Structure 1
Amino acid sequence: MRKKVLSVFVIILVLILGACSQASGGSGKNESGNIKIGAVLPLTGPAALYGQQTLDGAKLAVKMINDDGGILKGRKIKLLTEDDQSKPELGVTKYKKLIESDRVDAITGGVNSSVNMATKEVAKNKLINVVTVSKAPEIMSDRDPYRFRLNSTNDMDGKAFHNFIAQTLKPKTVAVIAENTDYGQAELKALKANWSGSDAPKIVATEFFELTDTDFTNPLTKLKAANADALYVVGAAIEINSAIFKQAHQLGFNNTMKLLAPGNINSKMVELAGEGSEGVISADLYQNSIDNEMNKKFVAAFEKEYNHKPEKMEMLGFESIWFVAKAMDKAGSSNDYKAISKALEGNDWQSPRGDLKFENGQALGKVIPLTVKDGKIVPYQQ
């Protein structure tokens, strides 16, 4: 009888402690051993290069933190990676695996907006969820307090880059080729909103493509017939953007102003597109030449690890792990999500891109106009 009573008492005590943990914002996981952070990225498929670059930055953050003794009195970070192949339905499956089976303490990732639109409900109110790259504004709508985003949005970029095009570059007419995704639609919507004035550039032709496409000759031929002053490319995959500019060059777009949606200019794209990338104008929120101590430390560590300088994707991947780990350390817990969210939102952070803070979960920053000159990405100058 005593054993039965004792067993019942133990069960009740366990239930009470579990309920207390949930009520305080925790997950009920043990605050010991490795801290598991999941990363869902496109490691194969049309956005694989972006995914791998982001992962390289995340791995560097893990190494730097662990080499420095870890966080929370010596606990080390363990990174669990999954491949979403840029497919929303697969992203959902991978998120569920990491959250329900692997029981990660936090989850990061997302290059394609359509994937993050599908996965945000899976992670909602369950754990810290850092959207690393995806830009569609709707990802942060109906936000739960544990969701954060590092990259700028279409709307944020538009206020800077679209106005820069209208006021500085001043093309009268623009032809647009865009991916048929949430991101592509959001960028087109932002373009139309920011170019609504009578003196603003006029979009005279629009063509869409699928992420599985590799031949863009047909839509580019239609756009060339519009005889626009500028070609505006909206694509969130290095391979696709490079193919579009390469094929546009072959079709004779050489005297046309070449514009790339902000946040997508990349040295690998320049390499793959060859002569087709020369003169491309875009904008981004990071350059590896930014002069601050955190960036010097980041660039030096990255070059030592990978033998080349990092770019925006690697920097965002780095931030996705670095900020989560540092916020856990400030909160004194790896699974008190209320405390971790408060730490992320309530502090100014040192980043390779400069001082950074979050507002309603969105990282704030500014974009810099860039162009390709002699095969290199440099600040734009008239």
Structure 2
Amino acid sequence: MKGTILMSPRSHRLAAVSALLTIVATSMGCAAQTTSGNSGAAGGPSAVPGFDPQAGTIKVGNVLALSGPISATAKEQLVGQQAWFDKVNAAGGIAGKYRVQVVTADNQYNPQLAVQAYQKIAGDVVMLSGVLGSPSVNALVPILDRSSGIMVPSAQDSHLRTIPAVLPPFSSYQTNVVNAVSYLVKTSPTMAKARYCALVMDSEWGKADTDAVTFITKAVGAPLGIVTKFAPLDTAFTAQISELKRDECDVVVFGGAANNLPSVVAAATQLDFQPQWIAEFIANSTAFKKSPIAEYLTKHVLFTGPGAKLDDTSVEGIRVLREALGQTEITVQHVYGYMQALATTQLLEKAVKNGDLSGAGLRRASTELDKLTFQGLGGEVKLGAPADRVLPRTSTIYAYDVAAPSGLSAVAVQYQAPEGSSPDF
């Protein structure tokens, strides 16, 4: 079993694209690839694993949680990717002639399974259009380096921006925390005197959030309290919430996922702990809208991430997603996957133009792209050499609202902290 190919039928909603697809930078190659093989038509790229010029197909891969504690939200990323790839394919494909197919493998949100999942599909894809979780991304970097491969991460630690095996489309975790705290202070100046703490996963993600809250509290002159940690699959948080309450935390940065948040809210409710929480969008699930935690989220939690107002079809990316999803509510996870597909497409377009879809060719194409753009869903990523990349400095801030799509209502679109940010973020 090599993985699952997800192909949606062409829909009348996904009409032909009227303009050429935007070319942007990204580099990624998965299996050990060469430029040898059957050449394509009239000087086109030669066949490599995952690219069949005669069939007119390019296969890209995902390593993500098809099963496990966050499978429902993770699958929304695939839906978002497919929405854009369907539009590309309706217009004839990459460079107007190569249709994109998506191959998936399951890491169950478990980094120990990421390498096995990747090996199942490595020989079938030219690159990875999504790898879920910083630990899984880090596990695959040395493997991709051996084959000159490249991946688009479903992770946002700022250190990923300089890794040649990674094509980063998003603002970093650090930037999202900086912007969220800045937004709180801007909208309520008394928050500059609040006590800021953190409840974070014991991982690089958690370290990123800790670094960010340390930076921004110093910038705004706010006191910094404790940082307490948990394991990715933890379901009991009474001890950590008790610590945060004893420390009299007014604002808590939460670095965790949707499988963790209900247990956090349950413990906070039981202990009557009601700070302002800041969380990444990955901590949200559409299921929360009809759950007992919805009221607490509405009163106490801000979410950060990419995107715009999720019902604003004047934004190109939202309009395409709306057409693709029909009556399905748009989530930030859909937006996230859609942006991954945009980055992947821009890289593939450049590599096809260069005539080389090998791993080395994709990496080279990523260095030749000046930037990645995202149809109003995120800031530009400056590319070029990996060491010179610059991630966006903007984040969209969401309040929780059960009446809004997926429960998130954008209160500040592409907000950028006037306090500035660390160049490391």
The question of a shared fold, defined as TM-score above 0.5 by the shorter chain, is answered with yes
Q: Which residue of 2 aligns with 1:154?
A: 173
Structure 1: stretches of 5+ with no match in the other structure: 1-15
How far has the Cα of 1:363 moved from its partner?
4.9
Give the aligned length.
351
How far has the Cα of 1:66 moved from its partner?
2.3
Establish whether residue 194 from structure 1 lines up as the match of residue 216 from structure 2.
Answer: yes
Establish whether residue 319 from structure 1 lines up as the match of residue 342 from structure 2.
Answer: no
Whole-angstrom CA distance in 2 between matches of 1:114 and 1:328? 26
Q: Which of 272, 276, 301 is residue 258 of structure 1 equivalent to?
A: 276
Q: Which residue of 1 aligns with 2:119?
A: 96
Whole-angstrom CA distance in 2 between matches of 1:159 and 1:316? 20
CA contact (8 A) 2:170 2:378 kept: no
**SS where residue 222 of structure 2 aligns?**
coil
Q: Which range moves more in the overlay, 190-199 or 74-83?
A: 190-199
Establish whether residue 329 from structure 1 lines up as the match of residue 329 from structure 2.
Answer: no
Q: TM-score, normalised by structure 2?
A: 0.72
**SS where residue 148 of structure 1 aligns?**
coil
Whole-angstrom CA distance in 2 between matches of 1:269 and 1:17? 46
1:38-74 alpha-carbon deviations (Å, 9 max, x no partner): 1111222233233111111122223222233222443
| RMSD between aligned residues | 3.1
Whole-angstrom CA distance in 2 between matches of 1:139 and 1:355? 17
Q: Which of 128, 141, 153 is residue 120 of structure 1 equivalent to?
A: 141
How far has the Cα of 1:120 moved from its partner?
1.6
How far has the Cα of 1:348 moved from its partner?
5.4
- Once the two structures are superposed, the pairs formed by residues 185-224 of structure 1 within 5 Å of their partners are 185-196=207-218, 199-203=221-225, 205-224=226-245
State the one-letter code of the partner of 1:98: I
Whole-angstrom CA distance in 2 between matches of 1:166 and 1:293? 28
How far has the Cα of 1:286 moved from its partner?
1.0
Q: TM-score, normalised by structure 1?
A: 0.80
Q: Which of 260, 269, 273 is residue 240 of structure 1 equivalent to?
A: 260
Whole-angstrom CA distance in 1 between matches of 2:272 and 2:340? 41
Q: Which residue of 2 aligns with 1:364?
A: 392
CA contact (8 A) 1:57 1:318 kept: yes
Whole-angstrom CA distance in 2 between matches of 1:218 and 1:78? 46
**SS where residue 282 of structure 1 aligns?**
strand
Establish whether residue 54 from structure 1 lines up as the match of residue 77 from structure 2.
Answer: yes
Q: Which residue of 2 aligns with 1:7?
A: none
Whole-angstrom CA distance in 1 between matches of 2:46 and 2:107? 27
Whole-angstrom CA distance in 1 between matches of 2:99 and 2:390? 27
1:254-295 alpha-carbon deviations (Å, 9 max, x no partner): xx3321234446352642432221221233221324454522
Of structures 1 and 2, the one scoring higher in RCO (CA 8 A, sep 6+) is 2
Q: Which residue of 2 aligns with 1:84?
A: 107
Q: Which residue of 2 aligns with 1:63?
A: 86
Structure with the higher fraction of residues in helix conformation? 1
How far has the Cα of 1:151 moved from its partner?
2.2
Q: Which of 305, 316, 330 is residue 284 of structure 1 equivalent to?
A: 305
How far has the Cα of 1:106 moved from its partner?
1.2
Establish whether residue 378 from structure 1 lines up as the match of residue 409 from structure 2.
Answer: yes
CA contact (8 A) 1:166 1:195 kept: no
Q: Which range moves more in the overlay, 82-91 or 324-333?
A: 324-333
How far has the Cα of 1:91 moved from its partner?
0.9
Q: Which residue of 2 aligns with 1:140?
A: 161
Q: Which range moves more in the overlay, 214-223 or 31-40?
A: 214-223
State the 4+ residue runs in structure 1 displaced beyond 6 angstroms: none
**SS where residue 337 of structure 1 aligns?**
helix
CA contact (8 A) 2:85 2:341 kept: yes
State the one-letter code of the partner of 1:76: R
The percentage of aligned residue pairs carrying the same residue is 17
